[in-house]
Amino acid sequence: MVMVRFVDETTSGARDEAWHLEIFEERLPLRELIRRRVFQEVAEHNARQPEVFRGLVQPGGTERTLNGYRMRERRRVDADEQFARAVEAFTRNGFVVLVDDRQVEELDVEVDLRVGTEVCFLKLVPLVGG
């Protein structure tokens, strides 16, 4: 069993509070790593159901605010739906994942997890041609 650090990095160079997740496997596909992160944050949200969802991707029926996504009404968030959204966002470059300062590009790549491994999520901006 290892403790893995998760960090969200913003482009201001500031890093949000890191949080830890216990993981039993020593190797995991990136897809699974993202799923665990999403399930964890959704579970924490649903336990308290605050007005603002702080998480990786925006749930439906919310508006973006400074520090999260404001819910129209306090409600539970569906973890499977959030995970589907996260995968979708990853495939269109909505965010990139760095494991120990190395970008992992494919969802099916197996990631080695050691003690003190740091998984960093970096959000990007969607682009179109002008």
Partner 1 sequence: MSVLPSALRPGAPTDERLRAQLDAASRCWTYWRLDQLARLCREVRRVDGELPGHAVAVARRTALATYHASGPLHDVLATVDAPLLSPGEAWADRVLADLPDLGAGWPELVRHALTATSARPSARWERQARSLLDQVGPAGYRDTVTGWLALVGRPRTFPLDRGEYDPDIAHAYDPYNATALRGLVWLLALAVDGPADAATARTLGGLVETSLRKVAGIGPRNPKVANAAVWALDRLDGDDALAQLARLATRVTYKGTLKELTAALDRRAEALGLSRAEVEELAVPTYGLTEVGRRVERLGDAEAELTVTAGSVSLTWRTAAGRVVKSPPAAVRRDRPEELRELKAAVKDVEKMLAAQAERLDRQVLGRRSWPYATWRARYLDHPLVGTLGRRLIWLVDGQPCGFADGALRTLDGDPVTATGGAAVTLWHPIGRDVAEVLAWRAWLERHGVVQPFKQAHREVYLLTAAEERTRVYSNRFAAHVLRQHQFHALAAVRGWRNRLRLMVDDDYPPATRELPEWGLRAEFWVEGAGDDYGVDTSESGAYLRVVTDQVRFYPVHAPENLAHAGGGGYEQWVRGGAGPVAPLPLDQVPPLVLSEVMRDVDLFVGVASVGNDPTWSDGGPTGRYREYWHSYGFGELSATAETRRDLLARLVPRLAVADRCEVDGRFLRVRGDLRDYKIHLGSGNILMSPNDQYLCIVPKQAVEAGPTGVFLPFEGDRMLGVILSKALLLARDTQITDPTITSQIRR
- Contact residues toward partner 1 (CB under 8 A) are 10-14, 58, 63-67, 73, 93, 96, 98, 101-105, 122-130
Residue 15, both tokens: 């890093």
First to last CA, the chain: 49
Q: Helix, strand or coil for residue 97?
A: strand
Contact 39, 83 (CB under 8 A): yes
Nearer to partner 1, 22 or 73 (CB): 73
Q: How far is the CB of 44 from partner 1 (least distance, A)?
A: 16
Q: How far is the CB of 41 from partner 1 (least distance, A)?
A: 17
Q: How far is the CB of 50 from partner 1 (least distance, A)?
A: 11
Q: Which helix (H) or strand (E) holds 78?
A: none
